[in-house]
Structure 1
Amino acid sequence: MSWIDLVGLPLLIRIFLVVLFPFSAMDKIFNWEGALKQANSSFLPGGPVLLVLGMSLELLGPACILAGWHDRLAAFLLGLYCVATALLYHNFWAYPDFWTRGDSAARAHFWDFLKNFCVAGGMLLLAFGTQLAPARAVLTHPLSSTPVYTPAGTAPALPPGDTP
């Protein structure tokens, strides 16, 4: 396997998956009042504590994932965090203006809700996913598919006869 398969692509994928978290933490730091208002908007008590815990996870989780230090745990916790924040703070169903033309708070929350679940899926793939396919296998056979229920520890490889 080449450097791109062993280091380059896995690092790039991880950067893409975690890049938004540190910026989200910085936004909470610089916009503390707005972040605190949102943290206090759910039924959970302790908005400031929740906010500090969330910011800590948003800063430490990506660092662990990029460094490869307890990365599965960090990815799992970030995935749970994304699901929890979607359900607690992006409850689009509570707004009556979903079908209203123009700006809609419900639709804004709906897209954030879906984004959180998409990021959670990426985090859970890091935590539970199988190995990456070699870049050459993907590039030379772009129409091939990976079975949905691939056993853990296996990855799509080059077809028999192809050499890396």
Structure 2
Amino acid sequence: MTAVAMVARLCLVILFPFSGLDKIVHWDQAIKQAESSPLGGARYMMIGGIIIEFATPVCIVLLWHAVIAALVLAVFCVATAVLFHPFWKFPGFWSGGNTEGAAHFWDFLKNFGLVGGLLLIVVAAPVLPASRHVTHHAVPAPHTPARTAPKTDTRRGP
């Protein structure tokens, strides 16, 4: 079951590092999109987003502060959906076809689907730190009999 849980966490977050890489490779286009936000500080938002997209998936997959990482990534997904996929601003977003409004509608919903998966990580993540998780699920060493009998206390006195 542990392997299935790890694969599930990996599948849930695999797109984020690629999204961060895409922002780096296509920096000018990413900055242009970030500047479309009603918030200021497009460059700072972009740098923060890239850090979040690279760091939090690693934390989630390795269960190292997974709850905090999943919460940060969930907030990031909500903010991204609301700020950058305002489908309601496009007339006929539900009319189907290959319209800009329809694309934003589906991206908005996908972000909230990710939020749901990330919140499942929050409620279902083991409370073990990553180092304990790894040793807890490691293959145990083969049993070997004790080489010597336990030592007895040879001290004297009260």
TM superposition score normalised by structure 2? 0.75
How has the CA–CA distance of structure 1 residues 101 and 123 changed in structure 2, closer, same or farther, with 3 Å as cutoff? closer
**In the TM superposition, what are the counterparts of 1:91-102 in structure 2 within 5 Å?**
91-99=86-94, 102=97
Task: Quote the offset at 1:34 in angstroms.
Answer: 1.0
Instruction: Please state if 1:75 is matched with 2:70.
Output: yes
Listed as ranges, the gaps of 5+ residues in structure 1 are: 132-164
Q: CA deviation at 1:97?
A: 3.9
Instruction: Provide the residue aligned with 1:18 in structure 2.
Output: 13
Q: Establish whether residue 86 from structure 1 lines up as the match of residue 95 from structure 2.
A: no
Partner of 2:56: 61
Figure out how many residues of one structure are paired with residues of the other and give that number.
126
Aligned residue for 1:155?
A: none
Partner residue in 2 for 1:158 = none
What's the RMSD between the two structures over aligned residues? 1.5
Residues 1:105 and 2:95 aligned together: no
Percent sequence identity is 45
Cα offset, 1:66, TM superposition = 1.3
**Structure 2 unmatched runs, 5+:** 127-158
